Each structure stands twice: as C-alpha cells, then as structure tokens.
C-alpha cells in the first residue's frame, strides 16, 4: 500500500526549485515511462517558471491535485502565475491526468471502474 500523509493523500511526484531536485514516488513504477517523463517535464518546468515547490498528489478518492508552496523569504515566487499555470496544466493534460486517476483507483484503491468506462464509450 502507498504511504499516505495525515490527510490521506499520496505524493506521485514533485520538484523543488530551491534544491533543484525532482522526486518520483517509486511505488508508481508501473506507470508507463512516457507518462513518467511527461510528469518530470511538467514538475521541473513549473518550478523553473514560478519557483517554489510543486507536487502532484493523489487525493483519498483517487483524483489528482497539485500543491505548490514557497519559502517565506522567496520574493520571486509567482503566486498568481502558479494558479494560472496549474489551470493550464489541467486543461492541456486533462486526458493524462484522468488516466493517472484511473490507474490509481484501479491498481491502488482496487476499485471496479468498468461501468464508468463503459458509460464513456457510448
């Protein structure tokens, strides 16, 4: 089972502009390599553009969300740009994010999403 924080959330990946590091949770090694690379690019580009720390997390219900934070002394962090960039990622990468959520719900939460998928095909 995946390691959860106090809110029941699980970090998938993230980047830190201060330490110039990227993190990918090894518990999700089953995700296709192309998706891992895309997540790496998204996280690093985010922190390069707005600064701070950016993480992609699975919520307890299996949905994905983005967290961003900055050090108190980081006057270069662009909070407005952060929100705009998150919305752009959600819009441009909607299909990938939906697929990741399904992956988590099926392989980690062991949900039956068959009916849900059949409804989309119609």
pLDDT at residue 7 in the model? 87
pLDDT at residue 39 in the model? 98
Strand order in the sheet with 21-24: 21-24, 10-16, 53-58, 64-69
pTM, whole model, 2 decimals? 0.88
pLDDT digits (tens), the chain, 122 positions:
577 888 889 999 999 999 999 999 999 999 999 999 999 999 999 999 999 999 999 999 999 999 999 999 998 898 999 999 999 999 999 999 999 999 999 999 999 877 776 766 55
Q: How many CA atoms lie within 13 A of 98 on its CB side?
A: 9
Cβ atoms of 71 and 88 within 8 Å: the answer is no
């Amino acid at each position: 089972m995946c390691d959860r924080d106090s809110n029941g959330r699980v970090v998938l990946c993230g980047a830190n502009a201060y330490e110039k590091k990227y993190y990918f949770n090894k518990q999700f090694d089953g995700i296709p390599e192309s998706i891992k690379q895309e997540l790496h690019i998204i996280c690093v580009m985010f922190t390069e553009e707005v600064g701070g720390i950016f993480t992609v997390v699975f919520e307890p219900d299996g949905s994905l969300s983005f967290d961003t934070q900055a050090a108190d002394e980081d006057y270069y962090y662009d909070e407005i740009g952060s929100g705009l960039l998150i919305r752009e990622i959600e819009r441009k990468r909607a299909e990938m994010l939906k697929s990741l959520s399904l992956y988590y719900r099926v392989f980690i939460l062991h949900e039956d999403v068959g009916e849900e998928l059949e409804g989309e095909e119609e």
